[in-house]
């Protein structure tokens, strides 16, 4: 780390660690969350039919992590309602985004520079939420790694993980997909964060907490901003994800066949092109394409191509 002045890095990360989320970053989080709801199909019609359902849905978008964590730890899921300042703030933002005369507020927030800044600020809150979840888990279960990861993840990506039930509030039911089957970018990046911070807490990862906070936050902010500005939706760790998937879950991995050269070739190709994993899939793309919603595609399944019942089932995931 020769190009970093260590003391200024320490100062920066200390400063970040002491940053207060309330009110500015929280406001950004609420605005981005409510905008995400408003851009869901049907949400605007619902807001004209039932403001109450719309408000409840917005609160689930804003406080989904706290609600889910509450349920998982048997603490009152109604807890977030007791935090009057935050609820008031989120409700005002919900009102302005959905019902402001002439739609000024929403029109303003959709301007690209505003939106990028708000999204970047929301990413900052993610770090704090993951750490809050991990602290909550430690209160009840001490240094249990799995529970720390689960609660940190739930707290940071709760809105996504409960999306099936949030949609139900709005009268929409899409059982055929959920965040476990088809993880979105925020869910994935939160999971990675939860794993890193949990490893740090249990001393498996020998870094300072405030350094990790700085690196993770900078990474999420930069990556999110980059994605918004370029319109890209690729996951930065897709090659690693692909490799892990191929090695662990295809059941046909032969250590001899997968030479280091081939792995590197795949990763380089994956970074350079958008058709990940194609190099190994030529033969089986046709029958497999529709049941591989993750970016990680491959000819997994050929060994079991004989399972006819599954061939039919795969249509469900189209």
Give residues 195-214 in contact with a second copy (rule: CB under 8 A).
none
Which range, of 6-14, 120-128, 174-182, 230-238, touches a second copy by CB under 8 A? Answer: 174-182
Which listed range, 111-119, 193-201, 220-228, 285-293, lies at the site for a second copy (CB under 8 A)? Answer: 285-293
Q: For residue 140, give both structure tokens.
A: 């009840």
User: Running DSSP on this structure, what letter comes out for residue 282?
Assistant: G
Q: Stretches 121-129, 170-178, 207-215, 268-276: which one binds a second copy (CB under 8 A)?
A: 170-178
Cα–Cα distance between 197 and 158 in angstroms, integer?
17
Interface mask toward a second copy for 52-71; x: CB under 8 A = xx--x-------------xx
What does 109-137 look like in DSSP terms, one character per residue?
HTSHHHHHHHHHHHHHHHHHHHHHHHHHH
Instruction: Give the DSSP H or E segment for 147.
Output: helix 145-161
Question: Is 301 in a helix, a strand, or coil?
Answer: coil
As a whole number of angstroms, the distance between CA 43 and CA 104 comes to: 18
Contact assessment for residue 217 and residue 13, using Cβ atoms and an 8 Å cutoff: no
- In the bound complex, what is the minimum distance in angstroms from residue 292's beta carbon to a second copy? 6
Q: How many residues does the chain have?
A: 318
Looking at the Cβ atoms of 10 and 287, the one nearer to a second copy is: 287
Mark the segment that binds a second copy (CB under 8 A) among 23-31, 119-127, 232-240, 246-254: 246-254
Smallest separation, CB 140 to a second copy (Å):
7
Per-residue contact string for residues 123-152; x = within reach of a second copy by CB under 8 A? -----------------xx--x-xx--xx-
């Amino acid at each position: 780390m020769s190009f970093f002045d260590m003391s200024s890095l320490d100062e920066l990360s200390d400063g970040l660690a002491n940053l207060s989320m309330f009110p500015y970053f929280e406001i950004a989080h609420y605005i981005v969350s409510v905008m995400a709801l408003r851009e869901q199909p049907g949400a605007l019609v619902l807001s004209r039919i039932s403001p109450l359902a719309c408000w409840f849905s917005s609160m689930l978008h804003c406080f989904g992590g706290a609600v889910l964590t509450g349920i998982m730890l048997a603490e009152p899921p109604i807890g977030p309602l007791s935090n009057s300042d935050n609820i008031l703030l989120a409700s005002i933002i919900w009102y302005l985004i959905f019902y402001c005369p002439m739609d000024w507020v929403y029109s303003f927030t959709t301007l690209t520079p505003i939106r990028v800044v708000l999204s970047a600020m929301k990413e900052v809150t993610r770090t704090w939420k993951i750490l809050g979840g991990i602290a909550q888990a430690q209160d009840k279960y001490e240094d249990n790694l799995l529970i720390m990861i689960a609660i940190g993840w739930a707290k940071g990506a709760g809105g996504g993980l409960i999306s099936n039930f949030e949609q139900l509030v709005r009268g929409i039911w899409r059982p055929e997909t959920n965040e476990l089957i088809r993880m979105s970018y925020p869910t994935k990046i939160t999971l990675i964060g939860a794993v890193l911070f949990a490893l740090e807490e249990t001393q498996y990862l020998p870094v300072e907490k405030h350094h990790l906070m700085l690196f993770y936050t900078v990474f999420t902010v930069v990556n999110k901003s980059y994605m918004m500005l370029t319109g890209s939706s690729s996951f930065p760790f897709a090659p690693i994800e692909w490799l892990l998937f191929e090695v662990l879950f295809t059941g046909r991995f032969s250590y001899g066949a997968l030479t280091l050269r081939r792995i590197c070739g795949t990763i380089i190709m994956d970074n350079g092109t958008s058709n990940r994993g194609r190099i190994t899939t030529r033969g089986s793309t046709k029958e497999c394409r529709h049941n591989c919603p993750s970016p990680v595609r491959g000819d997994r399944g050929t060994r079991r191509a004989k399972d006819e019942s599954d061939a039919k089932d795969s249509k469900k995931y189209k």
